[in-house]
Structure 1
Amino acid sequence: MPQREPFSASSGPPPSTELCITLLDQVDAGIYSRLTRFSKFEGLFFQVASALDNLRILDFSRVLAGPFATMMLADLGATVTKIERPGIGDETRTWGPPYDDSGESTYFQSVNRNKDSLVLDLTDATDLDRVRKLALAADVVVENFRPGVMARLGLGYDDLRADNPALVYCSITGFGSGPGAGLPGYDLLIQALGGLMSITGQPDGDPQKVGVALVDVLTGLFASVGILAALRHRDATGEGQLVEVDLLSSLLAALVNQGSAYTSGGVVPGRMGNEHPSIAPYELLPCAAGELVLAVGNDRQFAALCEALGAPELATDSRFTGNADRVRHRQDLRAALVERLATRSAEDWVSRLAEARVPAGVVNDVAGAFRLAASLGLNPVVRLPREDGTTVALTKNPIGLSATPPNYRSAPPRPS
């Protein structure tokens, strides 16, 4: 298994020796004992140990769900080796536009940092033997081929478990390994078949997909949770296991309240635009200039909203006194709010409502969202160095860990 490069990078070049020594002077003995010294770059770079140090993952997955899961684990310290096909590699290497300044697909880069890449032909006996040896040396194998493909190659869970009973093997499919095994699993298709498009969009409009491949992302998160749970079990027993995650089940689980409306209440939800089926006001509303999102989740917030709008009488109106009342009379409530919001711009209302502790905001584009996160000190972007001296800017891992934080060791691997 390829060894991790002995360095780490976060948002730029490593600190100088003097800075590292200063930092060491400021940490306690417990933290110091977990620090690791790296020296690839000029000077010394000290890094707190990662949660998944020494975990080896062999990643056969492509596109989004699997690569997203393995990137999450790589950010937490796992060594991930990505197996790619000769001449093609991961399909997302060719998905674009957009491309970055180096001409590389931004799609591929979004889910493949902190990984090594190994090009091997699984139809070649020599390469297949090499892959098998890598798999038997790994702690975790991740794959998202059609059910049965890995078994035909002698790389299925049962094949590898015989020689490595501690192996955690994660299989990601579109519709499971049963009757739906032969169905193609693409995010858009699952959004349609899984009901998400039926509840997205305007009531009198066409069903709409979400603006990102949300099902793949959710499936990747479920896969990473399953892998971590299996590893915890292995820590306790020494026993590995098969982790199975499919796109359709992941979406159904993620429907949460909309799913339970059907399973528990017998209600089939429909499209409501920006309205919420169970809360009001919880939607996008026009102002004198721009549009305002209101997310009023309780009666205190509603009373504060009415005060800020100069209409305290709305809070005691029998149609609006409780959330259930507001939901029943949502159209009357909307008309009353729109009338009062029309006196000021959305930006002005955001400031006034923030003072009243009423959840409200404008609709940002993606650039605006990153600027907001930066202004709040969330540091949403990390810059990773490439071997040629350039860097790539990517969205940081959102998980904060006080002792073993995510780290950013390498840019997504260049095509071989």
Structure 2
Amino acid sequence: MSLAGVRVLDLSRVLAGPWCTQTLADLGADVIKVERPGSGDDTRAWGPPYLKDSQGNDTSEAAYYLGANRNKRSIAIDIACSGGQDLIRRLATQADVLVENFKAGDLERFGLDAQTLQDANPRLVVCSITGFGQTGPYQDRAGYDYAIQGMGGLMSITGERDDRPGGGPQKVGVAVADLFTGLYATVAILAALRHAEATGRGQVIDMALLDTQVAMLANVGSNFLCTGRAPGRIGNAHQNIVPYQVFEASDSHLILAVGNDLQFAKFCDIAGHAEWALDPRFARNSDRVRHRGELVPLIEAAMRSRPRDLWLRALEAAKVPCGPINSLAETFADPQVQARDTVVPLPHPLSPELRVVANPIKLSLTPVSYRLPPPLLGEHSREILLEAGYVEAEIEALVASGAVR
């Protein structure tokens, strides 16, 4: 396992932080998930749906929580009390990485700020994930993915055009600002660990959802910076490539994703309109973008002449990029998805039938491992305390004081 021997103290909750630490855990890190006694990670209650037991009854574990917390061990610590704070400081001296997503300045109130922890453990990498970062006029605001998608410009370019049915701003179907931030945080942590190995010094990583959302505007953000013009929403079309969008066949929808002029010529032959590729309005992609309003209606009419699967077979044979729009049932039943082992069984204490979506990273020598199901709240508290050097009497005292559950 690539990260065997790396210990991560995970004080994060919901999605961006847990997504980061689950990735580290999948790569072999020992992740200790610190949770609030009694309730734990907020997402444990974000259901239905919930995991079902062997009798088909709902358990206490929400599917949302199960999707971001495998390969971790859970300890329930009350960081509002002095005993809990002392315990976090002790665990941090034995960790390589600490990940947290408290509001800016919150951990300082408990004596758990990065400077204090690094004074005791100079090699410690501390990654803070917030909505807006540790600086700037919004640093004290709470940040949630939905609001960040709006503030960061994503919803201004996502959704159907305002002048069409269903037009208006639209969020993405999954929390992409959280997920991208979690992945960027993972990359940053790996870089900081490399630096710590070389120098013996950890560092502080300041990750913000808004920063990430602006960064992931990618080519659309670059378009604006180069032109000063905001692109607006264009539904399922592409800002810079034509035809690159959803089309309606005679029975269903499909995606046509023509990426270059040769592919366009092949598509025109299949559609029975070779003349389009010779038309100076459409011959080059730049021409097609400028004359989108003339070309797309022609393609729409042609696409409605045949059923989806006939189009897909012909296009795939000619190596013109295309694809169906699958339901989740169709996605998980797809032979390519199944051949890539995209679903992994991971029996859970409350259900032997738990399955999780696999990590997509494929490493030839140190593959991703699936060692532990998402933990029950406080499932490993005693085990972690013993490893940290506490004796039974000390553990009982911590439990009695409410510092640990």
Which residue of 2 is the match for residue 362 of structure 1? 324
Which residue of 2 is the match for residue 221 of structure 1? 183
Q: What is the identity, as a one-letter code, of the residue corresponding to 1:81? A: I
> Could you state the TM-score of these two structures normalised by the residue count of structure 1?
0.86
- In 2, are the aligned partners of 1:59 and 1:141 still within 8 Å (CA)? yes
- In 2, are the aligned partners of 1:144 and 1:172 still within 8 Å (CA)? yes
Is 1:162 paired with 2:119? Answer: yes
1:187 is aligned, of 145, 150, 155, to: 145
1:9-408 paired onto structure 2 within 5 Å: 50-102=1-53, 103=59, 104-178=61-135, 179-204=137-162, 205-372=167-334, 374=336, 377-387=339-349, 390-408=352-370
Deviations 1:32-73 (A, max 9, x none): xxxxxxxxxxxxxxxxxx000010000000000000000000
Alpha-carbon distance in structure 1 between the residues aligned to 2:376 and 2:117: 29
- In 2, are the aligned partners of 1:53 and 1:77 still within 8 Å (CA)? yes
Deviations 1:374-413 (A, max 9, x none): 5561111011122456141010000010000100001100
Q: What is the identity, as a one-letter code, of the residue corresponding to 2:148? A: I
SS in 1 for 2:74: strand
Instruction: Please report how far the alpha carbon of residue 331 of structure 1 lies from its aligned counterpart in structure 2 after TM superposition.
Output: 2.1
Coordinate RMSD, CA, aligned: 1.2
Alpha-carbon distance in structure 1 between the residues aligned to 2:62 and 2:5: 30
The 1:373/1:128 distance shift into structure 2, 3 A limit, reads: farther
SS in 1 for 2:189: helix
Alpha-carbon distance in structure 2 between the residues aligned to 1:387 and 1:365: 30
Alpha-carbon distance in structure 1 between the residues aligned to 2:224 and 2:291: 23
Alpha-carbon distance in structure 1 between the residues aligned to 2:337 and 2:120: 52
The 1:389/1:192 distance shift into structure 2, 3 A limit, reads: closer
Which residue of 2 is the match for residue 20 of structure 1? none
Q: Identity of counterpart residues, as a percentage?
A: 48
- In 2, are the aligned partners of 1:83 and 1:120 still within 8 Å (CA)? yes
Deviations 1:239-282 (A, max 9, x none): 11111100000000000011112223212121111111110000
Alpha-carbon distance in structure 1 between the residues aligned to 2:16 and 2:338: 29
Alpha-carbon distance in structure 2 between the residues aligned to 1:243 and 1:347: 48
Alpha-carbon distance in structure 1 between the residues aligned to 2:129 and 2:87: 23
SS in 2 for 1:118: strand
Alpha-carbon distance in structure 2 between the residues aligned to 1:410 and 1:391: 14
SS in 1 for 2:207: strand
Alpha-carbon distance in structure 2 between the residues aligned to 1:119 and 1:414: 10
Higher relative contact order (CA 8 A, sep 6+): 2
Alpha-carbon distance in structure 2 between the residues aligned to 1:251 and 1:75: 25
Q: What is the identity, as a one-letter code, of the residue corresponding to 1:74? A: A
SS in 1 for 2:195: helix
- In 2, are the aligned partners of 1:69 and 1:224 still within 8 Å (CA)? yes
Which ranges of structure 2 fall in alignment gaps of 5 or more residues? 54-58, 379-405
- In 2, are the aligned partners of 1:373 and 1:379 still within 8 Å (CA)? no
The 1:216/1:150 distance shift into structure 2, 3 A limit, reads: same
SS in 1 for 2:204: strand
- In 1, are the aligned partners of 2:332 and 2:338 still within 8 Å (CA)? no
- In 2, are the aligned partners of 1:374 and 1:380 still within 8 Å (CA)? no
The 1:376/1:327 distance shift into structure 2, 3 A limit, reads: farther
Instruction: Please report how far the alpha carbon of residue 213 of structure 1 lies from its aligned counterpart in structure 2 after TM superposition.
Output: 0.5
Q: What is the identity, as a one-letter code, of the residue corresponding to 1:187? A: D
Deviations 1:65-110 (A, max 9, x none): 0000000000000000000001110000000122221322000000
The 1:373/1:74 distance shift into structure 2, 3 A limit, reads: farther
The 1:315/1:374 distance shift into structure 2, 3 A limit, reads: closer
Alpha-carbon distance in structure 1 between the residues aligned to 2:231 and 2:292: 17
- In 2, are the aligned partners of 1:287 and 1:346 still within 8 Å (CA)? yes
SS in 2 for 1:82: strand
SS in 2 for 1:216: helix
SS in 2 for 1:294: strand
- In 1, are the aligned partners of 2:347 and 2:355 still within 8 Å (CA)? no
Alpha-carbon distance in structure 1 between the residues aligned to 2:252 and 2:364: 40
Instruction: Please report how far the alpha carbon of residue 162 of structure 1 lies from its aligned counterpart in structure 2 after TM superposition.
Output: 0.8
Instruction: Please report how far the alpha carbon of residue 154 of structure 1 lies from its aligned counterpart in structure 2 after TM superposition.
Output: 1.0
> Could you state the TM-score of these two structures normalised by the residue count of structure 2?
0.88
Q: What is the identity, as a one-letter code, of the residue corresponding to 1:146? A: K
The 1:318/1:368 distance shift into structure 2, 3 A limit, reads: same
Instruction: Please report how far the alpha carbon of residue 122 of structure 1 lies from its aligned counterpart in structure 2 after TM superposition.
Output: 0.7
Alpha-carbon distance in structure 1 between the residues aligned to 2:293 and 2:327: 28
SS in 2 for 1:63: coil
Q: Aligned residues, how many?
A: 367
Instruction: Please report how far the alpha carbon of residue 136 of structure 1 lies from its aligned counterpart in structure 2 after TM superposition.
Output: 1.4
- In 2, are the aligned partners of 1:373 and 1:380 still within 8 Å (CA)? no
